[in-house]
Amino acid sequence: MCVVAFGQTEGDTLAVPVSPDTLVSTDTVPHDIAIDWEAQWAEWCATAHCVSSDSSLWNVPDVGLTRVGDHLDSAFVAEKLTALNVLSELDLRWNPVAHRRIVTYGKRRTHHLGTMLGRSAMYFPLFEEVLAREGLPLELKYLSVVESGLNPEARSPAGARGLWQFMYYTAKAEGLRIDGYVDERKDPLLATEAACRHLRRLHRMYGDWYFALAAYNAGPGNVNKAIRRSGGKTNYWEVRPFLPKETRDYVPNFIAVVYLMEHHADHGIFPQKALPGAMSVDTLMVEGPLRFDQMAAVTSLSESEVAALNPMYRLKIVPGPGEKFAVRWPVEKVAEFLEEEEAMRAHKPDLTPTIKYEPEPVVYRVKSGDVLGTIARKHGVKVSQLKAWNDLKSTTIRVGQRLIIHADPNTL
């Protein structure tokens, strides 16, 4: 929910470059070439394990040849949006602002949308289950595409993390755990539940989903300010010009993603680099400490595969003892994990560090004359820790800057 819409990591971004010199399609297929997507789609279906109510995943066209970027005229798109609008709590009626984003992404970001479709099999069933349980519109699952590109490791320059791009204090307010070993903003289930709580609260505040989405991106303060500047308008599209510049396209981007993910096949866009389906992954409750390299040493998964399934563990170790944590593992290999758990713990146990949880952070506002070294000494921490906690690339700080410090309370 950072103020930068789209593109928390360079490879995932759907954002379109502003410079005319860079407005060149990155698609691997030229716009004017007809591609036999049906063969690629059939291959994907044969290898994927997708269980989802999301119609976009199984919307196979009757024809075998579809040109990338076809059928993006306003009449065609408006008809499809009208059908979506009938079934949705959101206002998905056609409008020219959203249509411009649909055309842009439908022509210039087909490769990225295909990648998002490939990732959706892993995450959308989970999102749908939580959204349905909370009574929220299922289309809100697409918000994670806008926020993170369905990448749990996504991080924004502003410090947002995870599939739903929670800032630190918003995440803590929604009950997510963040410490030196665990960052639940990267846990698909827990972060989705927190996002639903937050979205519900914003919707109650405004009684309108598009105001709620704008507040998710820019914060309620900026939305309230925009409403005041508009003269108290209650229609999102009338308030939109008064929103911060970086937030004005957030809702149009969301509508474009909803449309193209639902009707991707009509425009020659199909899943690429498909992840395993959500039903192919199980959850085990494990008491640590247990390192990822220990798991990989005696099972058929590599350390990188363990890390990809369990992004919430910041140091590639399940902390403990005294508490059990969720470990995501392929369903077909759960028996292997259970059989080899004792062998895991016996593998190079001397490399397992002593788990020492960092205290809840304090916030320090930089004063004139401050440098990282003196701030670190005052709070009993290291400069390297200050840089890591605050995503600092150098030791340069500015007056008034807020620093998150997991300080030793005995030194304060």
In this prediction, residue 355 carries a pLDDT of 86
Burial level of 165, CB count in 10 A (0-12/13-18/19+)? buried
Q: If you search the block for the tokens 């979506």, which residue do you land on? A: 84
In this structure, the answer to whether residues 324 and 371 fall within a common structural domain is no
Ranges 22-31, 337-346, 371-380: which has the least confidence: 22-31
Same domain for 130 and 80: yes
pLDDT of residue 2: 52
The answer on 132 and 31 residing in a single domain is yes
Residue 3 within any structural domain of the chain: no
**Mean pLDDT, residues 181-203:** 97
Residue 70 has pLDDT above 80, yes or no: no
Instruction: Return phi, psi of residue 311, to 5°.
Output: -70, -10
Determine, yes or no, domain membership for 53: yes
Position 128 scores a pLDDT of 97
pLDDT of 50 strictly over 80: no
Residues 322, 378, single domain; the answer is: no
Read off the pLDDT band of 246 (50, 70, 90): confident
Instruction: Please tell me whether residues 93 and 203 are part of one structural domain.
Output: yes
Of 147, 174, 184, 193, which residue is the catalytic one? 147
The yes-or-no verdict on residue 74 having pLDDT over 50 is yes
Is the pLDDT score of 71 beyond 90? no
Q: What is the pLDDT of residue 361?
A: 74
Structure-token pair, residue 382: 């290291």
Query: Taking all residues of the chain, what is their mean pLDDT, rounded to a whole number?
Result: 84
Same domain, 232 and 370: no
- Tokens representing 3 are 């103020």
Separation CA 38–CA 36 (nearest Å): 5
Q: What is the mean pLDDT of residues 250-272?
A: 95
Task: From 267, 288, 313, give the residue that closes a domain.
Answer: 267
Give me the mean pLDDT over the 104-112 stretch.
Answer: 90
Range of the domain at 381: 362-411
Does the active-site annotation cover 287? no
**Average pLDDT of the residues in 215-239:** 97
Kindly indicate the confidence band of residue 407, based on its pLDDT and cuts at 50, 70 and 90: low
Residues 311, 382 share a domain: no
Cα dihedral value 94, 130, 50, 139, nearest 10:
0
C-alpha to C-alpha distances, 303 to 32, 68, 74, nearest whole angstrom: 42, 38, 48
pTM: 0.76
Share of the chain above pLDDT 90, in %: 66
Q: Are 129 and 138 in contact (CB under 8 A)?
A: no
Task: Confirm whether 5 is domain-assigned.
Answer: no
- pLDDT the model gives residue 25: 36
